[in-house]
Amino acid sequence: MPRATPNSDSFPQGHFDLRHHAFHGICLQSFHPTPSFYKNHFGLQVFSNSLNSSGVVPKVTEFLFRSGTMNAFQVSRRVGLAFLFLLAPLSVSARVPKFTLPSEASAILDQIYSFDLDGAVEAAHHMQKEQPDHPLGLLLEAEAIWWRTWCTSADFKFAMTDARRRPKLESDRRYLELSTKVLSLAEAHLRQGESAEMQFYAGMAEASLARMYGLRAENRNAARSGVRAREHLLRAKTLDPDLFDTDFGLGLYNYYVDTLSAAAKILRFFMGIPGGSKQDGVRLLEHAIAQGVLTSNVARFYLALNLHRYDQQYEKALNILTPLVERYPANPLYQLARGDLYAKLGRKQQALACYRAASALPVQNAECQAHVRDLVRASIASLDLRP
């Protein structure tokens, strides 16, 4: 089971703009690191001891909240957002693999991308039986469940379909159990001998937990899992600098941290959160697209998503996304994403074609299919096609 299951926290209202956010982090007032947390984060302990003794933190925090320039949880949510996407469907290229993958892994990944989620779950169960001590089968099953969850949780706001926030559901239990088991297996391997591969899987497991906690607004859990995910990925990169798949997660981290406002960056400093560069983030994501074995396609998807959401580079985002839509035309979420970009570019007829394609696609899960059609209706209405 997950390491903690606190009640969801309320969010400060401030100047938070949902058009630019899909992950919900922590409120500064509600995040209370434990001694064990500081034990594993020495730099944060140094910041805490020195700033608490000087009284700087309360003054800075009071100023920022009183001035209304930002919400403290925007800082942590941007860090967490880098991990909200981290367990999106993986990809397998023809390069020499950095991981030892079961032969059926590529087929399962294609099933996930093609939105054959039931088939992917069934095949992942078979993999788990064949290799019960390897985390990949569990990870792939969690992936299939996640995209069903994303589908039923998404809404259409600000001319864009996205899964933003929803309450806890009993149906989340299986996903959380799978993610926790992936982490447990990876840690067991690491106790026997450290490897970049198992550090990577441990990071992916923590990221998997972080994204579900973020969707459910479990802010402290999301932040803690996000921090641990980053640590595992950095360690994996240290052990194997040629493990290019880590560039995906590290690229997202750099990108999101650099999108913080100036006031938020001040608070990030006092919270002890490392900085980042958007340019480095884009470079790392492009590197993952070109060199990644497991994360090439997901890096492509989320680079396009971020260029859409944060930078309004719609044409570039469309060019990055299009190869995925062409390879996996049966994925309604890809069709919706491309339709949104066409709409932003004023190409209404092309947007309409994408939305109609999404609506016409067969989706195995009845709730998901109904939700896709609701999203399509809202998307088409936003085009304002009246003569």
- What domains are there in the chain, each with its CATH number? 59-383 (1.25.40)
Q: How far apart are CA 100 and CA 197, in angstroms?
A: 9
If you ran DSSP here, which 8-state letter would residue 160 be given? E
The phi-psi region of residue 313 (left if phi > 0; otherwise alpha if psi is between -120 and 50; otherwise beta) is: beta
Q: How many residues does the chain have?
A: 387
Q: Which residues is 155 bridged to in the sheet?
A: 162
Q: How far apart are CA 62 and CA 55, in angstroms?
A: 11
Q: How far apart are CA 277 and CA 280, in angstroms?
A: 5
Alpha-carbon torsion, ordered 156, 167, 174, 361, to 10 deg: -20
Distance of CA 334 to the CA centre of its chain: 16
In the chain, the amino acid numbered 159 is A
Burial label, 10 (beta-carbon count in 10 A; 0-12, 13-18, 19+): exposed
The pTM assigned to this predicted structure is: 0.75
Q: How far apart are CA 128 and CA 52, in angstroms?
A: 48
pLDDT (tens, 9 = 90+) of the chain, 387 residues, equals 444 443 433 333 333 333 333 333 333 333 444 444 443 433 333 333 333 334 444 444 444 444 444 455 555 555 555 555 555 545 444 444 455 667 788 899 899 989 999 999 999 999 999 999 999 999 999 999 999 999 999 999 999 998 889 999 999 999 999 999 999 999 999 999 999 999 999 998 988 898 899 899 997 787 778 778 889 999 999 999 999 888 888 887 778 667 766 665 665 666 566 677 889 989 989 998 898 887 888 888 889 988 998 899 999 999 999 999 999 999 999 999 999 999 999 999 999 999 999 999 999 999 999 999 999 999 999 998 876
3-state secondary structure of 12: coil
Instruction: Give the H/E segment covering residue 161.
Output: strand 160-163
| DSSP output for 163-198 | E------GGGHHHHHHHHHHHHHHHHHHHH---HHH
Phi, psi (rounded to 5 degrees) for 223: -65, -45
